[in-house]
Amino acid sequence: MGNEAIKYSPEDIERIFKACVKERVYHKASVKSGVICEWAFTYPNGKVTADVTSAFCINPVNNDFETGCRVCDKNIKDALWKICGQYTLITGQKL
């Protein structure tokens, strides 16, 4: 890699989300109103890592499972920025 910095765009994150984030499983949270999502990320070399994200609402009256799932997906995409940056630092390549 030369002196050019590798940059990711929101479109890159969306592409990586669709291609590399698999097996998202959403659950209604049992202790507090919200949604918990278990998800797996597959790297180009086949290595898989798992993580959990959540979305809780302040007022239980506003609890909506579908909205919670969308918030969890946004949280996953936010986490992808860090994963992509770490991958690029280690490999010198873009995901």
Residue 29 lies in a domain: yes
Residue 2 lies in a domain: no
Please provide residue 47's backbone torsions phi and psi, each rounded to the nearest 5 degrees.
-65, 140
How many domains would you assign to the chain?
1
Residue 3 lies in a domain: no
Measuring CA to CA, how many Å separate 38 from each of 14, 48, 61?
18, 13, 24
Write out residues in the chain with pLDDT < 70, as ranges.
1-3
Instruction: Give 71's Cβ-side CA count (13 Å radius).
Output: 14
Residue 84 lies in a domain: yes
Distance of CA 92 to the CA centre of its chain: 21
Residue 1 lies in a domain: no
**What pLDDT is recorded for position 34?**
94
Global confidence as pTM: 0.88
Domain span at residue 73?
Answer: 10-91
**What pLDDT is recorded for position 5?**
85
Residue 70 lies in a domain: yes
Give the start-end residues of each E strand in 1-95: 21-28, 34-42, 48-56
| pLDDT, tens only, 36-45 | 999 999 999 9
